[in-house]
Each structure stands twice: as structure tokens, then as C-alpha cells.
């Protein structure tokens, strides 16, 4: 967003909805120059005015693109945990960025310019800079932001990692010596799940959709074996693995 942004920044809006069974293409989006200004008035001290008292104005650092966002392009998402995107409004997702300006009540919540903040789920607008309700973000402790790359807070150290932990430790409950087969193994959730199964002492077989991903999983030691699910030999090779957990 910053690379293609002019002085006023850019926002990415929903131009049209794909049909529910269609792919999302570039035609669904509109890139708008500008629209990234702080809510007026901005006081001399760099504080947002009283009309935006519980708001922060942030520079976007990273945005997350997750599979569940697809349902937000439909008028009816079909799920109860997220809302549909609106035509002409910014696309949004989980995001992370730096606070530039703060309203008075946002300051009372402990936020200040320079803070790294995280919106972990679905409401950080796809904009180079944006105003966000202070209550919707968490401040990232400076030491944490220093120890790990901020983007990891949207990945392995964020919701995808948590999803993998719950799937492996609370649902699958692996025992050492079992064989775990992980689908989407090269994805954000899958590659963490593979590592958690390995740590539990399992033999891990990852399924993925390309030979490049097979090599990536194997070279990083995330799996004991990786299989391309598009290969004709998959049924035979998978049957030979005798999976305990899928």
C-alpha cells in the first residue's frame, strides 16, 4: 500500500462482489488514492479532536490474507463470526501498525503515538493509514515487537498459530509414536500444526499442492514426509502411512 501510495496514501475498496462460486479477481477491487487522512480536527499537540476521542490513527505495517475472508465478499457470509464487506468500503482483515495520532480517551487506554498495535481478527482497513477504534486493538509490548518480526503476530505467533495449537493439543491430542497426516501443510496453520505434531513425537506426513511446497516442508524439517495431493501416486503412498490422526 505504501509502495503504490502517493502523498495521501491509498485504500483498497470493494468494487463488486464475485458470485459465491467465483474466484476473487482484481476486478472486485478499486484502489483509491487519498482517503487516508486523520479525522479532523487534529489538535496542535498531535492529538485527535474530541469527535475522535476514542480513536487512533495508524500507519499500516502488515495485513493478513486468510481463507475465511472469501466469505466476506458474499452478501451473506454464511457464518456468524464475521460481517460481509460493503460495496465502496475498504476491505479489512487482521492488521498491525504504528499509532501516529491518539484521541484523549485512547490515551487513557494506555495508547500513545509510536505504539505498535494489533487488530487480531477482521477490522483493520486495507489502507496505507487509517482511523481505528482504540478498543478494537491490543498494544504489542515493545519487547515482544522487538523479539519477533511484527508480521509473525499475524501468523505463527498469532491467530493461525493459535488455531494450530488448539487443533493439535486440544482436539487431536497426539501421543508419541503416532502418525499424523496434516492437510494444507504448507499453509499458515498447517506448517505450525506439523511442527507441533513433531514436537509431540509423531511421524508427520504433510499434504500440499505443489512440489515446491513438498521441498519447502522437507527442507525445513517440518515433516517426516510430504506428499503432493495432485500426484497420481497419492492414494498408494497415503495408504502406506497408516495414519492415526488426520
User: Which residues are near ligand NAP by CB under 6 A?
Assistant: 66-68, 159-160, 163, 183-184, 186-190, 208-210, 213, 229
Phi and psi torsions of 158, nearest 5°: -130, -145
Q: What's the start-to-end Cα distance of the chain, in Å?
A: 38
Q: In the complex, what is the shortest distance from the CB of residue 123 to ligand NAP, in angstroms, rounded to a whole number?
A: 15
Q: Whose Cβ is closer to ligand NAP: residue 101's or residue 164's?
A: 164
Q: In the complex, what is the shortest distance from the CB of residue 216 to ligand NAP, in angstroms, rounded to a whole number?
A: 10
C-alpha separations of 83 from 22, 31, 64, 75 in Å: 19, 21, 16, 9
Nearest 5°: the CA angle 196, 199, 202 is 90
Q: In the complex, what is the shortest distance from the CB of residue 208 to ligand NAP, in angstroms, rounded to a whole number?
A: 3
Q: Whose Cβ is closer to ligand NAP: residue 89's or residue 212's?
A: 212
| Cell 490513527 sits on residue | 57
Q: Whose Cβ is closer to ligand NAP: residue 38's or residue 190's?
A: 190
Q: In the complex, what is the shortest distance from the CB of residue 229 to ligand NAP, in angstroms, rounded to a whole number?
A: 6
Q: In the complex, what is the shortest distance from the CB of residue 29 to ligand NAP, in angstroms, rounded to a whole number?
A: 19
User: Which has the closest alpha carbon to 195: 210, 209, 180?
Assistant: 180
Q: Whose Cβ is closer to ligand NAP: residue 180's or residue 208's?
A: 208
- Beta bridge mates, 90: 13
User: Which has the closest alpha carbon to 173: 192, 153, 137, 201?
Assistant: 201
Helices (H), 11-111: 104-108
Q: Whose Cβ is closer to ligand NAP: residue 45's or residue 171's?
A: 171
Amino acid at each position: 500500500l505504501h509502495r503504490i501510495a502517493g502523498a495521501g496514501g491509498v485504500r483498497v475498496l470493494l468494487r463488486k462482489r464475485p458470485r459465491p462460486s467465483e474466484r476473487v479477481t482484481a476486478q472486485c477491487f478499486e484502489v483509491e488514492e487519498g482517503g487516508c487522512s486523520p479525522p479532523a480536527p487534529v489538535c496542535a499537540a498531535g492529538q485527535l479532536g474530541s469527535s475522535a476521542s476514542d480513536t487512533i490513527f495508524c500507519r499500516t505495517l502488515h495485513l493478513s490474507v486468510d481463507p475465511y475472508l472469501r466469505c466476506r465478499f458474499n452478501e451473506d457470509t454464511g457464518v456468524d463470526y464475521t460481517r460481509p464487506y460493503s460495496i465502496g468500503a475498504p476491505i479489512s482483515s487482521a492488521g498491525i501498525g504504528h499509532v501516529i495520532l491518539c484521541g484523549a480517551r485512547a490515551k487513557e487506554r494506555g495508547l500513545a503515538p509510536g505504539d505498535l498495535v494489533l487488530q487480531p481478527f477482521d477490522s483493520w482497513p486495507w489502507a496505507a493509514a487509517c482511523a481505528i477504534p482504540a478498543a478494537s486493538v491490543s498494544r504489542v509490548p515493545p519487547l515482544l515487537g522487538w523479539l519477533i518480526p511484527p508480521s509473525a503476530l499475524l501468523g505463527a505467533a498469532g491467530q493461525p498459530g493459535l488455531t494450530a495449537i488448539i487443533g493439535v493439543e486440544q482436539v487431536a491430542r497426539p501421543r508419541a509414536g503416532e502418525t499424523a497426516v496434516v492437510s494444507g501443510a504448507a499453509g499458515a496453520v498447517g506448517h505450525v500444526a506439523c511442527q507441533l505434531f513433531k514436537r509431540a513425537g509423531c511421524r508427520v506426513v504433510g499434504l500440499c499442492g505443489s512440489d515446491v511446497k513438498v521441498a519447502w516442508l522437507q527442507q525445513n524439517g517440518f515433516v517426516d514426509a510430504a506428499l503432493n495431493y495432485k500426484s497420481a501416486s497419492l492414494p498408494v503412498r497415503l495408504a502406506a502411512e497408516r495414519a492415526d490422526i488426520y
